[in-house]
Amino acid sequence: MYHNHHKALNMKKFVLFLLLAISFPAYAQKKAIINGYAESASDKERLTGATVIADPDLGVATNNYGFYSLTLPLGTYKLSCRFVGYKTIIKQIDLKNDTTINFQLPTGIELEEIEVKAKRTDEVSSQLSSLSFLNPAMEEIDRMPVILGERDVLKTLQFQPGIKSARESSAGFNVRGGSNDQNLILLDGVPVYNVNHLFGFFSVFNSDAIKSVSMYKGGIPARYGGRLSSVLDISMKEGNMQEPRGVFSISPVSARMTYEAPIKKDTAAFIVSLRRTLLDIPMFLYQAAIERDGNYGYYFYDFNAKTNWIINNRNRVYLSVYSGKDSQYSNDNRDGTNSKFRYNWGNVTSVFRWNHIFSPKLFSNISAYYSRYQLENLGSTKSAKQKVVFHATSEMQDLALKADFDWYLSPSYTLRFGGKASRMAFAPNIVQMKGDDADITLNEEQKNNSFHVESFVENNLKTGIFSLNLGVRGVTYITGKKTYSYLEPRAALRVQPHTGFSATISYTKMTQFIHLLSNSSLGMPTDLWVASTDEVKPQESRQISAGIEQRFSKYVFGVETYYKWMHDVIRFEEGAVFLSSQDTKWHKNISVGQGRAYGAEFMVKKVQGKLTGMLSYTLAWSERQFNEVNQGRWFPHKYDRRHDISLLGEYRILNNKHREKSISFGFTLQSGNNLSMPDVEYEGIYLPGASENTHGVPDWQQSKQSYDNPNNLKMPVFHHLDLGYNLKRKKQDGKTYTWSFSVYNVYNRMNPWYYYKNPGGQVKQISIFPVIPSVGFKYTF
Q: What is the DSSP string of 474-510?
A: EEEEEETTEEEEEEEEEEEEEEEEETTEEEEEEEEEE
Taking the C-alpha atoms of residue 273 and residue 459, their distance in angstroms, rounded to an integer, is: 38
Residue ending a domain, choose from 108, 138, 155: 108
What span, in angstroms and rounded, lies between the C-alpha atoms of 162 and 113? 28
Query: Who wins on pLDDT, 707 or 731?
Result: 731
DSSP string, 40-98: ETTT--B-TT-EEEEETTEEEE--TTSEEEEEEESEEEEEEEE-TTB--EEEEEEESS-
Question: Sign of torsion, CA 89 727 719 185?
Answer: positive
Last residue of a domain, one of 108, 123, 142: 108
The average pLDDT across 681-703 equals 47
CB–CB of 275/209 below 8 Å?
no
With bands split at pLDDT 50, 70 and 90, how would you rate the model's confidence at 706? low
CA distances for 565 relative to 228, 390, 506, 507, 711, angstroms: 10, 42, 14, 12, 20
Q: Which amino acid, residue 622?
A: S
pLDDT tens-digit profile of 762-776?
777 888 889 999 999
Q: Are residues 235 and 103 in the same domain?
A: no
With a CB cutoff of 8 Å and minimum separation 6, the contacts of 733 are none
219 located within any domain: no
Asked if pLDDT for residue 517 goes beyond 90, the answer is no
Q: How many CB atoms lie within 10 A of CB 212?
A: 20
How far apart, in whole angstroms, are the C-alpha atoms of residue 545 and residue 229?
A: 13
Region 226-239 average pLDDT:
94
Structural domain that includes position 61: 2-108
Structural domains in the chain (count): 2
Query: Alpha-carbon Rg of the chain, whole angstroms?
Result: 27
| CA–CA dist 187, 185 (Å, integer) | 7
The H or E element that residue 5 is part of is helix 2-23
Residue 463 burial (CB count, 10 A): 13
> Is 361 in the same domain as 501?
yes
136, part of any domain:
no
Across the range 300-304, mean pLDDT stands at 95
Rounded Cα distance, 67 and 363, in Å: 8
Lowest mean pLDDT of 312-321, 468-477, 527-536, name the range: 527-536
Alpha carbons 183 and 191: distance in angstroms, whole number? 10
Is 198 inside any structural domain? no
Which pLDDT score, from 0 to 100, does residue 113 have? Answer: 39
User: How much is the pLDDT for 437?
Assistant: 72
Measuring CA to CA, how many Å separate 632 from each of 569, 628, 708? 14, 6, 12
Q: pLDDT tens, 435-449? A: 767 777 777 777 889
Q: Name which residue leads in pLDDT, 18 or 103.
A: 103
101 and 239 share a domain?
Answer: no
Task: Choose the final residue of a domain: 72, 90, 108.
Answer: 108
User: Does 244 lie in the same domain as 95?
Assistant: no
- The mean pLDDT of 389-413, rounded to a whole number, is 92
Side chain identity at 355, as an amino acid letter? N
Contact 660, 726 (CB under 8 A): yes
- Choose the most confident range, by mean pLDDT, from 34-48, 181-195, 692-706: 181-195
Average pLDDT over residues 571-587: 60
- What is the widest separation between alpha-carbon atoms in the chain? 92
Residue 419's nearest CA partner among 448, 361, 450, 458 is 458
**Structural domain includes residue 150:** no
Is 238 within the bounds of a domain? Answer: yes
Q: Which helix or strand (DSSP H or E) is residue 370 part of?
A: strand 362-382
Could you read off the pLDDT of 106-149 as tens digits, one per residue? 986 543 433 333 334 334 457 888 899 998 888 888 888 888 87
Q: Are residues 318 and 453 in the same domain?
A: yes
Which residues pair with residue 131 across a beta bridge?
none
Q: What is the CATH number of the domain that holds 47?
A: 2.60.40.1120
Distance CA 630, CA 624 (A): 10
pLDDT in tens, 449-459: 999 999 999 99
CA distance 622 to 598: 7
Residue 500 clears pLDDT 70, i.e. is over it:
yes
pLDDT value of residue 579 = 46
745: nearest Cα among 770, 777, 765, 718: 770
Residue 116, domain member (yes or no)? no
Task: Return mean pLDDT, the chain.
Answer: 84
The helix or strand, by DSSP H or E, that contains position 14, with its residue range, turns out to be helix 2-23
Q: What is the dihedral of CA 468, 469, 470, 476, to 10 degrees?
A: -170
Q: How far apart are CA 516 and CA 399, in angstroms?
A: 19
CATH number of the domain bearing residue 680: 2.40.170.20
Count of CB atoms situated within 10 Å of the CB of 725 = 17
- Say how far apart CA 495 and CA 181 lie, in whole Å: 33
Same domain? For 585 and 452 the reply is yes
Residue type, 265: K
Tell me whether residue 371 is in a domain: yes
What pLDDT score does 655 carry? Answer: 83
pLDDT band at 758 (very low <50, low <70, confident <90, very high): confident
Residue 133 lies in a domain: no
